[in-house]
Amino acid sequence: MKPSFPAVLLIEKDEVTLEIYQRELSTCFTVFAANEIQGVLETLAAEDICTVIIEPEIEAGQGWELIETIHKTFPERELPVIVCSTRDAPRKNVNSGIALYLTKPVLPRTLREKVLEIIESE
C-alpha cells in the first residue's frame, strides 16, 4: 500500500516552473497542480489540502483575489498560503493567511523544505 502524504495545492502560471516544483514536492506530498484559477476552489472542496502554494500574478494578478476567496470560502480550514512570486511586489494588503512570501527564483528543494516547516508548525 502506498504511503499517504499530506496534500498541497500548487498554483503556478509557468508550465516549466509548475513541473519542476511539482516533481520536487511530490517526494514528500501529494501534489494537486493548476496553471489557471479555474477549478481551484473545486479542488479545495474535494481534497484534504493542507497548504496552498501560489504565484499571485497568475491571470493578470487574480491570484491575490483567489487568496482572499479561499479564506472566505474555507474559513474553518485556516489554510496556510505560501506566496511564491517573481515579483517582490507589495503584498496587496492580503496578509491574513499568508504563512510565507518567497521571491523567485526559489530552488525546488528550498520550497519543499519551507512547506515541510509550515506543515510541521501547524
The average confidence (pLDDT) of the chain is: 89
Predicted confidence (pLDDT) per residue in 58-93, tens digit: 888 889 899 999 999 998 888 999 999 987 655 554
What's the CATH number for 7-121? 3.40.50.2300
Using a pLDDT cut of 90, give the percent of the chain over it.
70
| Residue of 84, 53, 91 lying closest to 70 (CA atoms) | 53
Query: How far apart are alpha carbons 71 and 54 in whole angstroms?
Result: 14
Q: Are 28 and 5 in contact (CB under 8 A)?
A: yes
* Residue 68 in grid coordinates: 482572499
Domain ranges of the chain: 7-121
Close Cβ partners of 101 (under 8 Å, ≥ 6 residues apart) = 82, 83, 85, 91
pLDDT given at position 1:
39
